[in-house]
Each structure stands twice: as structure tokens, then as C-alpha cells.
Amino acid sequence: MTPFATPRHAIDPVVDLSIGVDTSEARRASTWLGEAGSARGIPAEPLWRLDLCVTEALANVIAHGGAGTGSSTIRLRLDVRRGASGGEASVTVSDAGIKYDPLTAPLKARPRTLADAEPGGQGLTMLRKFSDALDYAYSEGRNHLTIRVRWDQDKAAP
Amino acid sequence: MAITYEDVSESFRRIALSGRLDGRGTGEIAVKFAALSTAAKHRVVVDLTGINFLASIGIRALLSSAKALQQNGGRMVLFVGGNPAVTKTLEATGIDALIPMFADAAEAEKAALA
């Protein structure tokens, strides 16, 4: 043990990951988020919501990102802030695909019957419903989508 | 991802999915699930109690099979048990209004066979 060793409790609230643009890499991102989020004290329920939203954001980039994403990487940044009464966690997903703002993209009308249902569109619904806040910016040729979830310490299961 | 099935009668099949229905997981079972759920058996209960994560790509697989089954005169119902992750996702996306969803296994079978 050197005097310069980082104490175990001083875990960095911010952590980054870069992944390739495919579904196996998206799974790797979920595994990373689960481990890094748990280690930083995100309770199970908001961590599940964050995982769902990140999964949908990545699926969208992989499916619709366009030619720009193929040779590029998707960058993810997890940022966890905890206080006495609760906390907030965000993941920013950054990709070099076509410009796409999921905050203003139109939602498909909800079908009334199975016969009317067409595949697709649920990802955007899930992203909006399961996050507590979404922020989007486009800069330097990249989309930057920040997904936030929040929790109250009292309500969160241990 | 795992997929198993049991033929209860000539026209009634139970299919159980377990694992993570994200892009990779759905890719692993999609072809087999479509074949099993839209084959000659007309009534199908899909057991989702073992699914710990349901992404939109998994919902898409459920929807397309349910729709194909209905077009052939059949019916799909979902059995979710007490699985909160799956229940919340199906409710948030309104899929529970399109494919009947049950927490109780006996009720799911009854609805499938009705």
C-alpha cells in the first residue's frame, strides 16, 4: 500500500465508456452501466429505468444513425450525484450519426387494435416515460443525449 | 436468452421466454419464437415471467407474432406473473391494450382458449 493509493470509498462519480456501433456492444454498455451504477449507489429501480433508456437510445443510434456511425464509436458518460435525501444519475450518449433529437421527434399515434399496430415507435415512448429528464444538443458533428433519473432515498429499496 | 415450449393440446401452446430481451437477446430467439408462435397451433400463451429486461425490440417481436397469429385466426396472450419490469414496460407502451396481459396463469390460459 503506497501513500498515494486511492482510498476505496473515493469512487469517481463520473465514469466513461466507448463502444462500437452494434447490439453486442450495446449489451456491453448495459453490463457496464449495471456494475458502475450499483457501485455508485444507484438503487435498483432508477438503475433499471436508466438501463432501459440507454438501451433504447443506443438501439436508435444503431438502427437509424446512418453511415456516419459505422466507423465511429458511441461514447457514454455516467454521472452519479447523491445527497442526503436522494440522488440523480445521468448518462450522456454521444454519437456521430445523423442529427436526431428524440425530444422533438414526433411520437407515433397509439394503435387501438392489434390489426392497426405497426412495429416500431415504442423506443421513443419508453425513453420519454422512463426518464425523469432528457436533454439534447448537437455539436461538433455529434448528437449528445443526456438521460436523467432521480430517486428519493426514503422510497428507494435498499 | 432461453426459449422453451409445451404443446398442451392440438391447438394450444405455451411458450416460455427467459433472459434479457434487448437487441442481442431478441436476435437470439427471434426466428425460433416467430416459428413457434405462428405455427399451426392457434392459441398461444407467452410466459414472460422469466424476462428480466424488455426493450422495444423485444416488444416488436411480440407484436409481430401476435399480429400474424391473429391474421390466421389465432390468439396470443401474455402471462407476466408478478414481474414488475415487464408489466411496467408493457403498460407504458400500451401493448397490454393490444395483446391481453395477465398476472395469473390460469386466467391467461382461459383468455387464450376463450
Q: Quick one: what percent of chain A has pLDDT higher than 90? A: 70
Supply the pLDDT for residue A119: 78
Contact A117 B59 (CB under 8 A): no
| pLDDT confidence tier of residue A67, bands split at 50, 70 and 90 | low
ipTM of the complex, rounded to two decimals:
0.93
Q: In the predicted model, what is the mean pLDDT of residues B74-87?
A: 96
| CA–CA distance, A44 with A6 (Å, rounded to integer) | 27
Can you point out the beta strands (E) in chain A?
Answer: 14-19, 74-82, 86-95, 133-139, 142-152
Mutation target to probe the B interface, by most B beta carbons within 10 A, among A52, A62, A107 is A52
Domain membership of residue A43 (yes or no) is: yes
Nearest chain B Cα distance for residue A51, angstroms: 9
Of residues B3 and A154, the one with the higher pLDDT is B3
Q: Which residues from chain B sit within 8 angstroms of residue A59, using beta carbons? A: 22-23, 55-57
Supply the pLDDT for residue A4: 56
Q: Over the stretch A90-109, which tens digit does the pLDDT of each residue have?
A: 999 999 999 999 999 988 88
Sheet holding B12-21, edge to edge: B2-9, B12-21, B43-54, B75-79, B101-102
Supply the pLDDT for residue B39: 81
> How far is the CA of B83 from the CAs of A65, B74, B90, B94, B103, in angstroms?
33, 26, 11, 17, 8
Q: Which residues from chain A sit within 8 angstroms of residue B57, using beta carbons? A: 59
**pLDDT surpasses 90 at A121:** no
Asked whether A77 and A16 are in contact (CB, 8 A), the reply is: yes
Supply the pLDDT for residue A66: 67
Q: What CATH architecture is B2-113?
A: 2-Layer Sandwich (3.30)
Supply the pLDDT for residue B27: 95
Of residues B10 and A119, the one with the higher pLDDT is B10
Domain membership of residue A33 (yes or no) is: yes
Supply the pLDDT for residue A8: 55
Domain membership of residue A66 (yes or no) is: yes
Asked whether A82 and A41 are in contact (CB, 8 A), the reply is: yes
Q: In the predicted model, what is the mean pLDDT of residues A132-149?
A: 97
Q: State pTM to two decimals.
A: 0.92
Q: Quick one: what percent of chain A has pLDDT higher than 70? A: 88
| pLDDT confidence tier of residue A129, bands split at 50, 70 and 90 | very high
Nearest chain B Cα distance for residue A45, angstroms: 9
Domain membership of residue A1 (yes or no) is: no
Supply the pLDDT for residue A153: 83
Contact B60 A122 (CB under 8 A): yes
Domain membership of residue A157 (yes or no) is: no
**pLDDT surpasses 80 at A7:** no
Q: In the predicted model, what is the mean pLDDT of residues B3-24?
A: 96
| CA trace torsion A5, A9, A12, A13 (10° rounding) | -170
**pLDDT surpasses 90 at A149:** yes
Average pLDDT, chain A: 89
Assign residue A106 the CATH number of its domain: 3.30.565.10
Indicate the number of domains in chain A.
1
| pLDDT confidence tier of residue A39, bands split at 50, 70 and 90 | very high
Give start and end residues of each alpha helix (H) in chain B: 23-38, 56-71, 84-92, 105-113
User: Residue B92 has what DSSP assignment?
Assistant: H
| CA–CA distance, B6 with A149 (Å, rounded to integer) | 40
Structural domain harbouring A140: 14-152
Residues 6+ apart with CB under 8 A from A149: A42, A46, A47, A49, A50, A53, A88, A89, A90, A130, A131, A132
Domain membership of residue A74 (yes or no) is: yes
Domain membership of residue A107 (yes or no) is: yes
Supply the pLDDT for residue B63: 95
Of residues B110 and A11, the one with the higher pLDDT is B110
**pLDDT surpasses 50 at B58:** yes
